[in-house]
A and B are shown apart, each in its own frame.
Chain A
Amino acid sequence: MRTIPFLIICLAVGAAVFAGAIASGNDYLFFAGYVVMQYIVLATAWNILGGYCGYVNFGTAGFFGIGAYVTVAIHQWHPLPIPLLVLIGGVVSAVIGYGMGYLTLRLRGAFFAIATLALAVVLETLVVNWDYVGGSRGAYIVRPEAIAPFGSYIRYMFMIMMLLAVAALTVARLVERSRLGYGLATIRDDELAAEAAGVPTLRLKLIATTISGALMGMAGAPFPYYIGYLQPDSTFGFDYAVNAIAMSLIGGTTSWVGPLIGAVLLGSLQQLATVTISSAVNLLIVGLLLVFFVIVAPNGILGLIHKYWQHKSDDFVGRRRVDLEAAAPAPAADGAPGAPP
Chain B
Amino acid sequence: MSSSAEEIEKVIGQKYKEGFVTEIEVETFEPGLNEDIIARLSAIKGEPEFMLQYRLQAFRHWQTLEEPDWAQLNIDPIDYQAISYYSAPKKDSEKPQSLDEVDPELLDTYKKLGIPLDEQERLAGVAVDAVFDSVSVATTFKGKLKDAGVIFCPISEALQEYPELVKQYLGTVVSEKDNFFASLNAAVFTDGSFVYIPKGVRCPMELSTYFRINAANTGQFERTLIIADDDSHVSYLEGCTAPMRDENQLHAAVVELVAMNNAEIKYSTVQNWYPGDENGVGGIYNFVTKRAECRGDNSKVSWTQVETGSAITWKYPSCVLLGDNSVGEFYSVAVTNNYQQADTGTKMIHIGKNTSSTIISKGISAGKSQNTYRGLVKVAKSAENARNYTQCDSLLVGDTCGAHTFPYVEVKQPSAQVEHEATTSKISEDQLFFCQQRGISAEDAVSMIVNGFCKSVFKELPMEFAVEAQALLGLSLEGSVG
Are both chains from one complex? no
A positions within 8 Å CB-CB of B:
none
B positions within 8 Å CB-CB of A:
none
